[in-house]
Amino acid sequence: MIYLIATLKIKPDSFETIEKLVAPCIEGTRLEAGNISYDLFQSTTDKNTLSFVERWKDQTAIDNHFTESHFLAWRDAGAEYILDKKLEIITPENIEQK
């Protein structure tokens, strides 16, 4: 199993808009082959920090996720609200940051 944690810094007061834009992606991702869980959280200490906590069967499932239409639509629609992002990929062997 692979964990992917995507941390986003968003523009102030944009959470409600982002929540609406990302909803179809969350719904679609949860139906993808190889997805174990896919959840979005808002920080309790900084309302402009969001974290996707994802669990995947393997790297192939992650690679396929990044080509799905619901992911691409969210990426394009949400881009103007994202100030910074960090990805952490956690496998049994390694922790990788991008």
Place of tokens 């941390």: 7
No. of helices (H) and no. of strands (E), the chain = 3, 5
Tens of pLDDT along 20-40? 999 999 999 999 999 999 999
Q: How far apart are CA 57 and CA 61, in angstroms?
A: 7
Res 51: pLDDT = 98
Q: Domain with 16 in it: what CATH number?
A: 3.30.70.100
Structural domain of 35: 2-97
pLDDT, tens only, 39-61? 999 999 999 999 999 999 999 99
d(CA 1, CA 56): 6
> What 3-state class would DSSP assign to 83?
strand
Tally the domains of the chain. 1
Q: What's the pTM value of the predicted model, to 2 decimals?
A: 0.89
Tell me the mean pLDDT in the region 64-91. 96
